[in-house]
Amino acid sequence: MRLILVTGIVAGVASLIGNYASGAGGVAAAGSLRSSQATLRSFTLKPSGIVLQLHPTEARIRLSVTANGPLKACEYGGSWGSPFSKHWSRCLNLGQQVVALPSSGGAIHVSFLIVPTGGQATHVTALVLRWHCVDHYFDVKPGATRARPSHPTFDC
């Protein structure tokens, strides 16, 4: 019986170490989360865009999108200001590949804006965010665009 207990403890520690390995993403073999994730599905992105708020570690937030038109991610200087300003000088185009936002340093909550590139409303099939979290905060700021995320999952 002791051997089984020790083996279980070793497996649990190995799983925890795997969750915090540098550059981790996706799901571990044991089924534990390696990154936080939130998905917004099937919504119309208005020209004013949508503001997303969360508290990542220093690891970069990764975005992927499927939409009828081109989108971009921009700094947003809301009530917290923008911790990205020293790292991020322009909006980033969101294309078919995964885009990593600049690091925020992990000290505070961050806000960023997703907008249609051409200034026209655009149908978004899926917007997926992946990040390593400091806390369980994730929010879609109320505005003209209405989108509800699936139940976010957190790795912290």
Residues 1 and 26 in one domain: yes
Task: Look at residue 6 and give its three-state secondary structure.
Answer: helix
Q: What pLDDT, on a 0 to 100 scale, did the predictor assign at position 10?
A: 34
Q: Are residues 27 and 43 in the same domain?
A: no
Query: What CATH number is associated with residue 150?
Result: 2.60.120
What values do phi and psi take at 37, rounded to 5? -150, 140
Q: How many domains does the chain have?
A: 2
pLDDT tens column, 44-66: 999 999 999 999 999 999 999 99
Shared-domain flag, residues 65 and 22: no
Give the domain extent around 17.
1-33
- Return the closest-CA partner of residue 142 out of 17, 68, 64, 51: 51
Q: Are residues 15 and 50 in the same domain?
A: no
Domain check: are 46 and 13 in the same one? no
**68 and 130 inside one domain:** yes
Reply yes or no on whether the pLDDT at 132 is more than 60: yes
- Helix, strand or coil, per DSSP, at residue 2: helix
| Largest CA-CA distance found in the chain, in angstroms, rounded | 65
Confidence of residue 83 (pLDDT cuts 50, 70, 90): low
Q: How confident is the model at residue 96 (pLDDT cuts 50, 70, 90)?
A: confident
End-to-end CA distance of the chain: 31
> Do 145 and 75 share a domain, yes or no?
yes
